[in-house]
Structure 1
């Protein structure tokens, strides 16, 4: 399989140098004009490559297109999803640097930024590759423009090789993933697939079908202010009640002591005085029963302190942010096992990883489409030390071609072996 490296290089550099940062405080759809600019660029590219039913919706800012089936078999449609926005780091005037045949040395990005394998050991995995970086004072945008480039390279290859059998393949490009807004709005009636894959972060061979379940909680506390000289039996100090609440949180269930499939409470802000205090935290857990228990624990502590101090001094507002797709995907293990078979064909060792965050696949799965996450060929996301490997983006394209072909072969004899971490 010969993926077009020059095509990936041209597309990736062009897209990275477009400013597509998303902004959480903007209610526009999408939240920045640069995202529309890239989506229109992609719309023209999909049509040029020969995809069918290419359409953009201003309502949800999603672009979709179809690679029509080449098999006469009855095969369900599958989809692939990448996002166009970048994270909250400087994204203006990005200049991509190309480092051919990387030798494992330090890469000087500018006078203040050196990308070194001593600090970032993952660089040792891409010795001999062509590496793309930014120029030091911006991010690169490999999250998720590496996924976009790999997906387009797959589309180009399949459309040039109609002898490869596959069912209908739908591509979707969406906005505002980094701020958790885009896929919530996605009208999946425009994306008629049985299952899909996001192409967002991770190393070659990674499969992430479980993410955090996520919620945020806000506790507001009302005190009673009295002159301290006359406070006996009267003053109620909201700040001290807040401190009591925080002290009741489990000391080991915190991000700095969690890894792999561990969850956590993260205290994001804590402020107050005698009159009023406010505690904000987020809750993360991979396992749904544990997630529900962790949320209930917060409610129980609020109830306990209200019973102690009376007058409903504590009020709790708790809101779910996203849900792990793991529960749904475990009911449809073929979606992951198909990837195992594709990796085996390409001599790639599969690795199930916990995605310690959320993806567009969380929201798309909630809409009924099982959507695990694959890799995209980049690393060190969301900052000036981002890089991407040309060879690994091409490997993503190979994987997507293989998944598409194998699905046409295995759809009627699915491997539904239960999934294990």
Structure 2
């Protein structure tokens, strides 16, 4: 359906623009440089012929593809984000194109001996013979989620150029700051006006997800008492040791590196401290709501236990919920998942229905009244130098979008 070089050129144009977000910023978007791609996308949407193309003061972009049928069809939407993670550099992205991949090691950076190997990343094996786009080992790639944007715009362009394909009104939205958990915060669901939507933000070809983690963040502050070490007996209280007690008291095997599928975890993501004060930052994740609540309670109880042990109020904890499992909101409208599944099968993509070990804008949007499952965008190894995307996966994702809107129109004939 889509010209391979056309989709490559579009994707490369996007990833070369640095759009890294910043969790410490209080603005929206969190970084000024996100406007660079946002403004380019607005012009491109107008050029391909979409209607009602707007960008608001927070860089949320919305546009419309009008219906081509005479009967009533629910308005559906497609959503992707244009920021990249603050976890790894997105400056001076220099993509490499590997044509007709031979299934062997890919040298990303010879000088630094950085190799993308199927021995470690076994997903590579399924893309033998395809065209891969990789990093040069110095930055991330940005397929998360510029691949999703590429696929949505390519599909919209195809539908504009092929008005004989039946479809209802389609809305699209591109958001800032998804990578720092704020992508849906200023998303105007009423203005978007869709009955349901899909985020194009999954990984390998075929992924279809309507479950994600329940998520919270916890900050644990441990107070000690600093005294000259030469005169510290019975006076010094070392906050680092107390923090160590806290860390070691949580289940050691319930961490990201020991869990998979629907298993939840506690993740210590940051530790900063000295004798006087140590601060631990955790994320808490679980697909099951009861288990999620229990994990939070475990941490609260542990704080109380340590304070009793030291006979002083030496540990405080603050827990904030971040997002919840969208399954609760999608299950009542499971036909929207079935439509996506049927669209994949119609273009010869085998659906892989599984739970997301993370979150997407779709999770928050689902709780704002816009049920929003997640469809593959095709990339692998997000948030680092080993990120890559097969061009054929991006082509298939665009085909899925086209077929999905067509099947939706036919369902409501």
Q: Fold match, TM over 0.5?
A: yes
Residue 84 of structure 2 contacts residue 145 of structure 2 at CA under 8 Å; is this kept in 1?
yes
1:329 to 1:273, Cα distance in 2 relative to 1, 3 A: same
Report the equivalent of 2:62.
Answer: 64
Q: Give the conservation status (yes or no) of the 8 Å contact 2:207–2:351.
A: yes
CA distance in 2, matches of 1:18, 1:109: 20
What's the counterpart of residue 126 of structure 2?
125
CA drift at 1:213: 1.2
The residue that corresponds to 1:92 in the other structure is: 91
Q: 1:166–1:224: structure 2 CA closer, same or farther, 3 Å change rule?
A: same
Residues 220 and 315 of structure 1 are in contact (CA less than 8 Å); yes or no, is this contact kept in structure 2? yes
Matched, 1:142 2:140: no
State how many pairs are aligned. Answer: 409
Alignment match, 1:77: 75
Q: Contact conserved, 2:347 with 2:396, CA < 8 A, in 1?
A: no
Measure the CA separation in 2 of the matches of 1:326 and 1:405.
25
Deviation, 1:44, is 1.0
**Distance of 1:69 and 1:51 partners within structure 2:** 11
Task: Give the Cα–Cα distance (whole angstroms) in 1 for the partners of residues 96 and 160 of structure 2.
Answer: 30
Q: Is the 8 A contact 1:379 1:387 kept in 2?
A: yes
**Residue 409 and residue 268 in structure 1: after superposition, are their counterparts in 2 closer, same or farther (change >3 A)?**
same
| Map 1:328-367 → 2, pairs under 5 A | 328-367=329-368
Over 3 Å counting, the alpha-carbon distance change for 1:106 and 1:409 in structure 2 is same
In structure 2, relative to structure 1, the CA distance for the partners of 1:128 and 1:274 (3 Å cut) is closer
CA drift at 1:279 = 3.4
Q: Distance in 1 between matches of 2:404 and 2:328?
A: 22
- 2:372 is the alignment partner of 1:371: yes
Q: CA deviation at 1:226?
A: 7.6
Alpha-carbon deviations, 1:45-95, whole Å to 9, x = none? 11111111110001x311010111112221111111111112232222222
- Is the CA contact (8 Å cut-off) linking 1:35 and 1:85 kept in structure 2? yes
Q: Which residue of 2 aligns with 1:180?
A: 181
Matched position secondary structure for 1:379: coil
2:19 aligns to what?
20
Mean Cα displacement is larger for which, 90-99 or 124-133?
90-99
Superposition deviation, residue 411 in structure 1:
4.2
SS at match of 1:36: helix
- 1:371, 1:37 → 2: CA distance? 27
Once the two structures are overlaid, the 10-residue window that deviates more, 93-102 or 256-265, is 93-102
Q: CA RMSD in A?
A: 2.3
The equivalent of 2:304 in structure 1 is 303
Change (3 A) 1:231 1:411: farther
Q: CA deviation at 1:270?
A: 4.7
Equivalence map 1:6-405=2 (5 Å): 6-58=5-57, 60-88=58-86, 89-111=88-110, 112=112, 113-223=114-224, 238-270=239-271, 275-405=276-406
Deviation of 1:166 (Å): 1.2
| Rounded Cα–Cα distance in structure 2 between residues aligned with 1:366 and 1:302 | 31
Deviation readout 1:152-187 (Å, 9 max, x if unpaired): 111011111111111111111111111222321222
* Alpha carbons of structure 1 residues 410 and 311: separation in structure 2 relative to 1, 3 Å: same
Write the distance in 2 (CA, Å) between the matches of 1:304 and 1:62. 46
> How many Å separate the matches in 2 of 1:310 and 1:55?
59
- The alpha carbon displacement at 1:237 in A equals 5.8
Q: What is the alpha-carbon distance in structure 2 between the residues aligned to residue 235 and residue 110 of structure 1?
A: 50
Alpha-carbon separation, structure 2, partners of 1:229 and 1:152: 68
Per-residue deviation, 1:238: 4.6
Q: Could you state the TM-score of these two structures normalised by the residue count of structure 1?
A: 0.89
TM-score (norm 2): 0.91
